[in-house]
């Protein structure tokens, strides 16, 4: 083939393509009337059918979270004709600046090609149903606009906001990660709305319709054969007892702190209170943009879920674990008494204690909460010759704590759990340049110093004690409709402590409440319920100490284990113990005994937040 | 000064006037696409047409500079220019802004610039220089390697920008390659690959195998190998018959696929041996072509069915027009066809388009500007534009052929080819004949860097043309 022939071939090729195009254009523009018709009369429109999110129930089947209808005002920019903007604003109850803002945003989105002028996109979000009715009457005046039904959350109770989390529009990152989502879709941002998004969201459907120039639907495209229906999200039952939850939030009103109550035999969370909290309805749809900044600026951090995110030193509530480790390590005998002169003294260092009967062995040591006793136990654990050095000793100690769920995320339903902190030999080597002994870190013995634990970890520890050595990961999901809950919640975790060692510890916790000679928490006594517990005080360098109480009941076949934290409230028996006992009583008896009504009233009325302010 | 006068004399005014007509008409349509006399206040979407006017002025200045430059400059600086644009292409990955998921744009203030527009010009110059080397030949490995390197480097960088559409434009260079003597088998192979790819998506493998086999026999008969093809046919038939008895599927039915493959293997071995003994190298080429196609078909099929996700599969099918999705991926094309179709024979008149009312989508004045032509100027307008473009392409080939130096000729063909690729894909896309690939329509689409790039591309050639009787190197 000669090269000049090739140039002719190339020209022929160009001409051929040109002829094909002209023929095609002739067919499209002159011969075939269907395109002309479809331009004049009808346009097709894809309507997304949004599924309603799964409902949320409490453990007794009470409806907690449902859905309500709102309407997004959609715009098809290409179809918009001049309209009365004042009327538009009035009908939708929006201000002129709001309209201008919506218009600006649409303009920006079109420039960045996120939306198209051919396709509908959201113009005004979440117009309430009654307002939308007004708009619908005058819709004929606003060409290119139409309403799209959406559902937003409806909360039946003003409680448990931290557990639910909230729902909002997907962001760019989520859309890129998961192609299911499109601009304007909703997704769970935090709490179980986020964790169980996959189940709750359901599946979107699509409806293809023909619409006339006034935006009125004129029937489906191809008889609806390409439509897909939306599938509603799966309903979820929580382990929460909403009455107990509400009661806990009432008790914690005007106080800072949290409550976690767990069913020991299953790890199911019965209540999870973080105070101050907020009404979940504040974060629904349009409300959220107004309320969220207010809540996030509040100095008391109502958005923070203290139950899982705040870590404090555990204080004396830590003594049970200390005793258990001593017993398991065989450096402590139940009946060996240690004497206490009101403080622990060693090589010029002293740890204070209270005045109480002396000497005490294991059971009364918990009842009177003797610091001296646990300093001795702790040093025996660390200096145990079996490990060779305090470094090896503290690592062994740390291993036990990890088995109890401290110093790591428990793996509950909440992704933003705090780990807390359990120091090890590496940590102290760094601080003390390798030169430290069991005496240097002695404050750990009584749950002070560097160790930090979260309320949920403490409730879990209490459940493990109630179970005599094992626990199930605390969780709030009980059942997912036609599906199974994550298998990790059915796994039994062992603490590495033999069940037999728990008997004296539980006995000590019972004595702490019921002993006639030197109990530290007699205020927690509930008529007819064998409750066991322990007070604690978390040192707070920034102000008044935090009041802590952990408890479980009944002694045989425990049904509830609880940890209560009241910040800046001083000693554990003053606030945390009564609140914990009221919670236990409410859960087990469903009502408060007449003899304790005064206590309930007092706890409900105390205002620690404003009291400290003045 | 004397040189300048002679330069003006040698300008191909025909092409210049064609250029001015196209740019002017293009601007009118950008103006129309961005103006809506009915609702001037609420939906006035900015002044794209004014910006475009600035770029047109800028292009005119550039034309002046090009004509004042010595033609030798373009030859001597071609490689440096090429390296410079390659650097820009890399820089834009790190410093550019992302538009439509491609990182291909520099942004300075309100102006955007896409370096690939310049890179195309540089590639055309560099390739022209490589192919105008003394005694360049497609039979010399060294020459081919140099050419392949120059060709593939920008493609790889542009793919890294995620701007597949622009990368595809480089396939236009196969036209100058073909003109300069590249074996047509490569083009044949490319066409077969595309055809096989489309076929694997719509018909079963068995049929593809059958079609390919029939094609092979037909090719051999046409190439006067009647005897060999008949022998092959006989062997294939017999082996196929035996194969149907041997190969069964898991369910016990006859496995026709395997039988057919066996037949073709037997036939290929027989015919191949004859070709070897009697020294018919062409038959070897045909067999190679055939078996590569078979392998290609089966692997495409495998990748399509097993590797790609549902979403990707449906996207490809829609782009190829094999699956209907009027409101999803095919939405723009459908609406674009409606807009063009609504123009009728004579169009609705300047600024009277209703389908392109509120057409302030960037795509409306960039990739889908042809819709505005179709709607407002009708078939008379669209066919005129197509004819003008074809005349421009023919003129460019004519000019290229009258060049004395190889450099100018190859460059001229490259210019024609790049224009052709853009025109064919862009217009083809708006009328549903080509997949939706976002590349601009020369002189029509809104966008300064594309207009400027096309202007430079064209006028460097017109400058070279003024020295057509000289040997530039
Ligand atoms: Zn003591």
> Which pLDDT score is estimated for B7?
56
Q: What is the CATH number of the domain that holds A86?
A: 3.90.1310.10
Which neighbouring-strand residues pair with A65?
A: A56, A155
Q: Which residues of B touch A84 (CB under 8 A)?
A: none
Q: Which residues of B touch A6 (CB under 8 A)?
A: 178-179
Q: Are residues B174 and B198 in the same domain?
A: no
Residue of A nearest to B389 (CA): A18
DSSP string, B6-32: HHHHH--HHHHHHHHHHHHHHHHHHHH
For the ranges A85-94, A169-178, A322-331, the one whose mean pLDDT is highest = A322-331
For chain A, say whether B182 makes contact (Cβ under 8 Å). Answer: no
CA dist A553 and A238 (Å) reads 22
A434-467 in b/e form (b: 16+ CB < 10 A) is eebbbbebbbbbbbbeebbbbbbbbbbbbbbbbb
The reply to whether B206 falls in a domain is yes
Q: Domain of residue A193: give its range.
A: 44-238
Q: What is the CATH number of the domain that holds A371?
A: 3.40.710.10
Q: Which residues of B touch A113 (CB under 8 A)?
A: 99-100, 361-363
Q: Are residues B443 and B373 in the same domain?
A: yes
The reply to whether A15 falls in a domain is no
Three-state DSSP class for residue B369: helix
The reply to whether B322 falls in a domain is no
Which of A192, A223, A238 represents a domain boundary (last residue)? A238
Pair of tokens at residue B109? 């203030």
Q: What is the mean pLDDT of residues B254-276?
A: 85
Q: Are residues B269 and B383 in the same domain?
A: no
Ranges B53-57, B92-96, B281-285: which has the least confidence: B281-285
Q: Are residues A379 and A391 in the same domain?
A: yes
Give how far B345 is from chain A: nearest CA, Å.
Answer: 6
Q: Are residues A163 and A216 in the same domain?
A: yes
A508: nearest Cα among A327, A262, A353, A249: A327
Q: Which residues of B touch A118 (CB under 8 A)?
A: 331-332, 335, 361
The reply to whether A183 falls in a domain is yes
Pair of tokens at residue A322? 């200390």
Q: Is the per-residue pLDDT at A484 higher than 50?
A: yes
CA dist B228 and B224 (Å) reads 9
Average pLDDT, chain B: 81
Q: Is the per-residue pLDDT at A563 higher than 60?
A: yes
- Residue A21 to residue B379, Cβ atoms within 8 A: no
Q: Are residues B132 and B261 in the same domain?
A: no
Three-state DSSP class for residue B191: helix
For residues B76 and B327, the model is more confident at B76
How far apart, in Å, are the Cα atoms of A144 and each of A45, A140, A264, A318, B35? 11, 9, 59, 66, 18
Which residues of chain A from 322 to 381 reach within 8 Å of chain B, CB to CB?
none
> Which pLDDT score is estimated for B352?
63
CA of A389 to the centre of ligand 1 (A): 27
The predicted-structure confidence for A193-250, as pLDDT tens digits, reads as follows 999 999 999 998 888 777 655 556 667 766 676 778 889 999 999 999 999 999 999 9
On whether the CB atoms of residues B370 and B428 are closer than 8 A, the answer is no
- Residue B100 to residue A107, Cβ atoms within 8 A: no
**Residues A449, A454, A458, A461, Cα dihedral to 10°:** -90
- What is the band of A479 on the pLDDT scale with cuts at 50, 70, 90? very high
Percent of chain A with pLDDT over 70: 93
Give how far B364 is from chain A: nearest CA, Å.
Answer: 9
Q: Are residues A80 and A156 in the same domain?
A: yes
Give how far A185 is from chain B: nearest CA, Å.
Answer: 17
CA of A387 to the centre of ligand 1 (A): 28
Q: Is the per-residue pLDDT at A39 higher than 60?
A: no
Q: Are residues B18 and B69 in the same domain?
A: yes
From the candidates A21, A22, A100, which should be mutated to test the interface with B, based on the most B CB atoms within 10 A?
Answer: A21
Q: Are residues B249 and B376 in the same domain?
A: no
Place of tokens 């995110």: A309
Pair of tokens at residue A380? 């025996």
Q: Domain of residue B414: give its range.
A: 2-182+333-465
Q: Which residues of B touch A7 (CB under 8 A)?
A: 179, 397, 400-401
Nearest to B327 among A40, A44, A81 (CB): A44
On whether the CB atoms of residues B223 and B285 are closer than 8 A, the answer is no
For chain B, say whether A17 makes contact (Cβ under 8 Å). Answer: yes
Q: Which residues of B touch A111 (CB under 8 A)?
A: 362
How many angstroms separate the first and last alpha carbons of chain A?
101
Exposed, middle or buried: residue A263 (CB in 10 Å: 0-12, 13-18, 19+)? buried
Which residues of chain B from 413 to 452 reach within 8 Å of chain A, CB to CB?
413, 416, 420, 424, 427-428, 431, 433
Interstrand relation of A349-352 and A470-472 (parallel, antiparallel or unpaired): unpaired
B371-398 in b/e form (b: 16+ CB < 10 A) is bbbbbbbbbebbbbbbeebbebbbebbb
The reply to whether A341 falls in a domain is yes
The predicted-structure confidence for B33-91, as pLDDT tens digits, reads as follows 665 444 333 334 456 677 788 889 999 999 999 999 988 999 999 999 999 999 999 99
> Which pLDDT score is estimated for B1?
41
Q: Are residues B371 and B448 in the same domain?
A: yes
Q: What distance lies between CA A36 and its chain's CA centroid?
A: 56
Q: Is the per-residue pLDDT at A334 higher than 80?
A: yes
Q: Are residues A442 and A590 in the same domain?
A: yes
- Residue A40 to residue B327, Cβ atoms within 8 A: no
Give how far A28 is from chain B: nearest CA, Å.
Answer: 5
CA of A355 to the centre of ligand 1 (A): 7
Give how far A26 is from chain B: nearest CA, Å.
Answer: 6
The continuous run of DSSP H or E covering A460 comes out as: helix A455-466
CA of A392 to the centre of ligand 1 (A): 28
DSSP state of B79: H
Place of tokens 């003006």: B8
The predicted-structure confidence for B108-136, as pLDDT tens digits, reads as follows 766 778 899 999 999 999 999 999 988 88
Q: Which residues of A touch B102 (CB under 8 A)?
A: none
Q: Are residues B176 and B208 in the same domain?
A: no
For chain A, say whether B354 makes contact (Cβ under 8 Å). Answer: yes
Q: Are residues B380 and B280 in the same domain?
A: no
Domain count, chain B: 2
For chain B, say whether A392 makes contact (Cβ under 8 Å). Answer: no
The stretches of B77-133 forming alpha helices (DSSP H) are 78-95, 116-131
The reply to whether B315 falls in a domain is no
Q: What is the mean pLDDT of residues A74-91?
A: 83
For residues B260 and A477, the model is more confident at A477
DSSP string, B329-360: TTHHHHHHHHHHHTTTTT-S-TT--STTTT--
Give how far A117 is from chain B: nearest CA, Å.
Answer: 6
Give how far B427 is from chain A: nearest CA, Å.
Answer: 8
- What is the band of A599 on the pLDDT scale with cuts at 50, 70, 90? very high
Chains A, B: CB contacts within 8 A come to 148
- Residue B339 to residue A221, Cβ atoms within 8 A: no
CB atoms within 10 A of CB A133: 12
Ranges A185-199, B55-69, B346-360: which has the least confidence: B346-360
Q: Are residues A209 and A247 in the same domain?
A: no
The reply to whether A492 falls in a domain is yes
DSSP state of A202: -
- Residue A116 to residue B424, Cβ atoms within 8 A: no
**Residues B329, B450, B369, A120, Cα dihedral to 10°:** 40
For chain A, say whether B388 makes contact (Cβ under 8 Å). Answer: no
B19: CB partners within 8 A, 6+ apart: B392, B443, B455, B458
CA dist B331 and B339 (Å) reads 12
CA of A366 to the centre of ligand 1 (A): 10
DSSP state of A63: E
Q: Are residues B120 and B217 in the same domain?
A: no
On whether the CB atoms of residues A142 and A159 are closer than 8 A, the answer is no
Q: What is the mean pLDDT of residues B156-165?
A: 84
Three-point CA angle A534, A536, A541, nearest 5° = 175
CA dist A34 and A30 (Å) reads 10
Which residues of chain B from 84 to 143 reach within 8 Å of chain A, CB to CB?
99-100
For chain A, say whether B357 makes contact (Cβ under 8 Å). Answer: yes
- Residue B344 to residue A110, Cβ atoms within 8 A: no
Nearest to B100 among A46, A113, A206 (CB): A113
CB atoms within 10 A of CB B254: 14
Which residues of chain B from 41 to 60 reach within 8 Å of chain A, CB to CB?
42-43, 45
Q: Are residues A221 and A254 in the same domain?
A: no
CA dist A236 and A478 (Å) reads 8
Pair of tokens at residue A577? 């113990």
CA dist B150 and B79 (Å) reads 10
CA of A509 to the centre of ligand 1 (A): 16
DSSP string, B127-182: HHHHHTSTT--TT-HHHHHHHHHHHHHHHHHHHHTT-HHHHHHGGGGHHHHHHTT-
> Which pLDDT score is estimated for B473?
63
Q: Are residues B60 and B14 in the same domain?
A: yes
φ, ψ of residue A533 to 5 degrees: the values are -165, -175
Q: Are residues A227 and A313 in the same domain?
A: no
On whether the CB atoms of residues A566 and A576 are closer than 8 A, the answer is yes
B29: nearest Cα among B459, B446, B407, B468: B446
Residue of B nearest to A25 (CA): B379
The reply to whether B221 falls in a domain is yes
Q: Which residues of B touch A14 (CB under 8 A)?
A: 390, 393-394, 397, 416, 420
Nearest to A22 among B363, B364, B383 (CB): B383
Average pLDDT, chain A: 88
Q: Are residues A184 and A169 in the same domain?
A: yes
Which of A238, A270, A285 represents a domain boundary (last residue)? A238
Q: Is the per-residue pLDDT at A519 higher than 80?
A: no
Q: Are residues A156 and A186 in the same domain?
A: yes
CA dist B366 and A493 (Å) reads 63
The reply to whether A383 falls in a domain is yes
Q: Are residues A232 and A248 in the same domain?
A: no
CA dist B274 and B283 (Å) reads 9
For chain B, say whether A23 makes contact (Cβ under 8 Å). Answer: no
On whether the CB atoms of residues A51 and A231 are closer than 8 A, the answer is yes
DSSP state of A31: I
Place of tokens 């037997």: B266
Q: What is the mean pLDDT of residues B418-426?
A: 94
Q: Are residues A539 and A469 in the same domain?
A: yes
Domain count, chain A: 2
Radius of gyration, alpha carbons of chain A: 33
Which of A196, A221, A238 represents a domain boundary (last residue)? A238
Three-state DSSP class for residue A299: coil
On whether the CB atoms of residues B352 and B359 are closer than 8 A, the answer is no
Q: Are residues A278 and A354 in the same domain?
A: yes
Q: Are residues B441 and B420 in the same domain?
A: yes
Give how far B159 is from chain A: nearest CA, Å.
Answer: 20
For chain B, say whether A80 makes contact (Cβ under 8 Å). Answer: yes
CA dist A216 and A227 (Å) reads 18
The reply to whether A3 falls in a domain is no
For the ranges A3-17, A476-490, A561-575, the one whose mean pLDDT is highest = A476-490
Q: What is the mean pLDDT of residues A342-361?
A: 86
- Residue A21 to residue B362, Cβ atoms within 8 A: no
The reply to whether A524 falls in a domain is yes
CA of A508 to the centre of ligand 1 (A): 15
CA dist A462 and B185 (Å) reads 80
On whether the CB atoms of residues A70 and A128 are closer than 8 A, the answer is yes
Q: Which residues of B touch A119 (CB under 8 A)?
A: 331
The reply to whether B90 falls in a domain is yes
> Which pLDDT score is estimated for A417?
93
The predicted-structure confidence for B377-413, as pLDDT tens digits, reads as follows 889 999 999 999 999 999 999 999 999 999 999 999 9
Place of tokens 């302030």: B360
For chain B, say whether A180 makes contact (Cβ under 8 Å). Answer: no
Q: Which residues of A touch B431 (CB under 8 A)?
A: 21, 24-25, 28
Residue of B nearest to A110 (CA): B361
DSSP state of B374: H
């Amino acid at each position: 083939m000669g090269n000049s022939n090739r140039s002719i071939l190339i020209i022929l090729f160009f001409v051929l393509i040109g002829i094909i195009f002209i023929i095609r254009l002739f067919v499209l523009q002159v011969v075939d009337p269907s395109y002309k018709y479809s331009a004049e009369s009808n346009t097709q429109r894809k309507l997304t059918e949004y599924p309603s999110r799964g409902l949320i129930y409490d453990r007794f089947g009470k409806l907690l979270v449902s859905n309500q209808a709102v309407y997004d005002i959609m715009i098809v920019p290409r179809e918009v004709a001049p309209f009365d903007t004042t009327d538009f604003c009035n009908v939708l109850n929006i201000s002129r600046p709001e309209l201008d803002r919506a218009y600006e945003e649409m303009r920006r989105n079109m420039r960045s090609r996120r939306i198209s002028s051919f396709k509908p996109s959201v113009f005004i979000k979440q117009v309430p149903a009654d307002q939308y009715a007004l708009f619908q009457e005058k819709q004929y005046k606003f060409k290119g606009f139409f309403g799209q039904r959406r559902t937003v959350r409806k909360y039946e109770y003003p409680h448990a906001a931290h557990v639910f989390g909230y729902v909002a529009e997907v962001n760019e990152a989520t859309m890129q990660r998961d192609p299911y989502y499109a601009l304007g879709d909703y997704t769970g941002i935090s709490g179980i709305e986020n964790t169980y998004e996959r189940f709750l969201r359901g599946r979107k459907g699509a409806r293809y319709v023909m619409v006339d120039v006034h935006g009125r639907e004129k029937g489906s495209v191809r008889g609806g054969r390409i439509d897909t229906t939306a599938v509603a999200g799966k309903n979820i039952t929580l382990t929460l007892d909403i009455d107990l939850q509400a009661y806990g939030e009432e008790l914690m009103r005007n106080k800072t702190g949290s409550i976690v109550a767990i069913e020991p035999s299953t790890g199911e969370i019965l209540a999870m209170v973080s105070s101050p909290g907020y009404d979940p309805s504040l974060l629904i749809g349009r409300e959220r943009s107004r309320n969220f900044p207010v809540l996030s600026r509040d100095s008391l951090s109502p958005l923070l879920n203290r139950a899982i995110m705040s870590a404090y030193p555990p204080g004396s509530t830590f003594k049970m674990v200390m005793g258990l480790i001593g017993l398991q390590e065989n450096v402590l005998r139940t009946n060996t008494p240690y004497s206490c002169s009101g403080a622990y003294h060693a090589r010029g260092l002293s740890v204070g204690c209270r005045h109480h009967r002396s000497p005490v062995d294991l059971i009364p040591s918990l009842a009177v909460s003797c610091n001296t006793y646990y300093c001795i136990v702790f040093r025996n654990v660390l200096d145990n010759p079996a490990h060779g050095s305090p470094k090896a000793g503290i690592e062994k100690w740390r291993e036990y704590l990890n088995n109890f769920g401290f110093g790591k995320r428990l793996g509950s339903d909440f992704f933003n759990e705090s780990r807390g902190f359990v120091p090890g030999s590496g940590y102290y080597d760094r601080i003390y340049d390798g030169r430290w002994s069991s005496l240097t870190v002695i404050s750990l013995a009584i749950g002070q110093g560097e160790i930090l634990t979260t309320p949920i970890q403490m409730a879990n520890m209490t459940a493990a004690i109630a179970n005599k050595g094992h626990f199930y990961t605390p969780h709030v999901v009980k059942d997912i409709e036609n599906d199974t809950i994550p298998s990790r919640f059915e796994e039994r975790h062992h603490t590495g402590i033999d069940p037999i060692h728990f008997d004296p510890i539980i006995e000590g916790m019972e004595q702490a409440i019921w002993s006639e000679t030197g109990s530290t928490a007699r205020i927690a006594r509930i008529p007819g319920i064998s409750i066991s517990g322990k007070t604690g005080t978390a040192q707070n360098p920034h102000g008044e100490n935090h009041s802590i109480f952990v408890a479980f009941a009944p002694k045989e076949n425990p049904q509830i284990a609880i940890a209560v934290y009241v910040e800046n409230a001083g000693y554990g028996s003053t606030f945390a113990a009564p609140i914990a006992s009221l919670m236990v009583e409410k859960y087990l008896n469903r009502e408060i005994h007449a003899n304790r009504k005064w206590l309930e009233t007092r706890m409900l009325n105390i205002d620690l937040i404003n009291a400290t302010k003045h | 000064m004397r040189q300048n006068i002679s330069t003006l004399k040698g300008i191909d005014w025909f092409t210049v006037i064609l250029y001015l007509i196209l740019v002017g008409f293009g601007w009118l349509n950008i103006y129309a696409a961005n103006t809506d006399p009915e609702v001037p206040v609420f939906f006035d979407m900015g002044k794209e047409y004014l910006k475009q006017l600035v770029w047109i002025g800028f292009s005119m200045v550039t034309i002046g500079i090009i004509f004042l430059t010595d033609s030798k400059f373009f030859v001597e600086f071609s490689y440096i220019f090429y390296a410079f644009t390659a650097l820009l292409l890399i820089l834009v990955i790190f410093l550019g802004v992302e538009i439509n998921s491609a990182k291909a744009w520099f942004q300075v203030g309100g102006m955007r610039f896409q370096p690939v527009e310049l890179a195309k010009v540089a590639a055309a110059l560099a390739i022209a220089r490589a192919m105008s080397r003394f005694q360049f030949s497609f039979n010399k490995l060294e020459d081919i390697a140099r050419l392949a390197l120059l060709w593939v480097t920008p493609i790889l960088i542009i793919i890294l920008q995620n701007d597949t559409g622009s990368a595809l434009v480089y396939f236009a260079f196969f036209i100058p390659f073909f003109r300069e003597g590249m074996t047509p088998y490569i083009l044949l192979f490319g066409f077969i690959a595309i055809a096989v790819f489309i076929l694997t998506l719509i018909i079963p493998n068995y049929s593809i195998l059958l079609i390919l086999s029939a094609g092979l026999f037909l090719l051999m008969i046409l190439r006067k190998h009647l005897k060999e093809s008949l022998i092959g046919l006989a062997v294939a038939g017999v082996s196929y018959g035996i194969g149907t008895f041997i190969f069964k599927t898991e369910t016990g039915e006859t496995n026709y696929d395997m039988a057919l493959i066996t037949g073709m293997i037997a036939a290929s071995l027989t015919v191949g041996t004859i070709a070897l003994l009697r020294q018919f190298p062409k038959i070897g080429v045909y067999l190679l072509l055939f078996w590569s196609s078979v392998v290609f078909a089966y692997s495409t099929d495998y990748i399509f069915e097993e590797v790609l996700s549902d979403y990707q599969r449906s996207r490809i099918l829609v782009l190829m027009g094999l699956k209907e999705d009027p409101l999803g991926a095919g939405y723009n094309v459908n609406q674009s066809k409606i807009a063009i179709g609504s123009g009728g024979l004579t169009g609705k008149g300047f600024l009277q388009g209703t389908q392109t009312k509120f057409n302030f989508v960037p795509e409306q004045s960039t990739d889908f500007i042809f819709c505005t032509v179709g709607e407002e100027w009708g078939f008379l307008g669209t066919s005129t534009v197509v004819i003008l473009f074809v005349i421009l392409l023919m003129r460019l080939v004519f000019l290229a052929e009258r060049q004395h130096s190889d450099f100018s000729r190859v460059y001229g063909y490259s210019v024609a080819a790049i224009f052709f690729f853009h025109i064919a894909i862009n217009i083809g896309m708006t009328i549903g004949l080509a997949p939706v690939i976002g590349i601009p329509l020369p002189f029509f689409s809104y966008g300064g860097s594309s207009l400027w790039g096309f202007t430079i591309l064209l006028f460097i050639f017109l400058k070279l043309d003024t020295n057509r009787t000289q040997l530039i190197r």
